[in-house]
Amino acid sequence: MISLLNKTWNISPPSPDTVYALVKELGISPIVAGLLVNRKVTVADEARQALEADLTKLHDPFLMLGMQKSVDRVLQSIANKEKITVFCDYDVDGVSSAAFLIHFFRDLGVDIDYYLPERMAEGYGLNANAVREIREVRGSALMITADCGITGNKEVELANQI
């Protein structure tokens, strides 16, 4: 398969027998079964866990440092009807994160915007120009980042100052 950047993707064909076994036992499509097998999920019980995740088995997000402060700040923005901008990288994880957050906040009636950096001009990750545009040009009171790594300390400092 060729990507938009003319890069060739080599995708290993999954074991047909393993794919068939998952299709038969779980009633899933061959495409889904093939994706699971290529991710080393070859047993029906493991596939069930991957496809029917139990949210009660997730870690408590409030174990993350600063989570309560972050939640309080988001709730404050919602209560005060402040504009929020989601900043995410342009890769598949970033775009998926942005889409999820935008839909979530729109469902709550929040004034939500998003910023995906221009790959060639801005590079990867949070940058000072984006922080300034989000605050000063777009008028957002709060910026939420997702899937941006953890190296943007100077940019976070700038966002807190302006």
Can you give the pLDDT at residue 27?
Answer: 97
Mean pLDDT of 64-81: 97
Residue 114: alpha-carbon gap to chain centroid: 13
d(CA 76, CA 69): 10
With pLDDT > 70 as the criterion, what percentage of the chain qualifies?
Answer: 96
Confidence class for position 90, pLDDT limits 50, 70, 90? confident
In this prediction, residue 86 carries a pLDDT of 96
pLDDT at residue 122 is higher than 90? no
d(CA 92, CA 84): 22
Q: What is the pLDDT of residue 4?
A: 60
Give the pLDDT of residue 28.
98
pLDDT at 7: 74
Position 37 scores a pLDDT of 97
Say what the pLDDT of residue 3 is: 58
Which residues is 113 bridged to in the sheet? 85
How confident is the model at residue 9, as a pLDDT?
75
Q: What angle do CA 77, 94, 38 make, to 5 degrees?
A: 140
Q: Cα separation of 139 and 55, whole Å?
A: 36
Report the chain's mean pLDDT, rounded to a whole number: 90
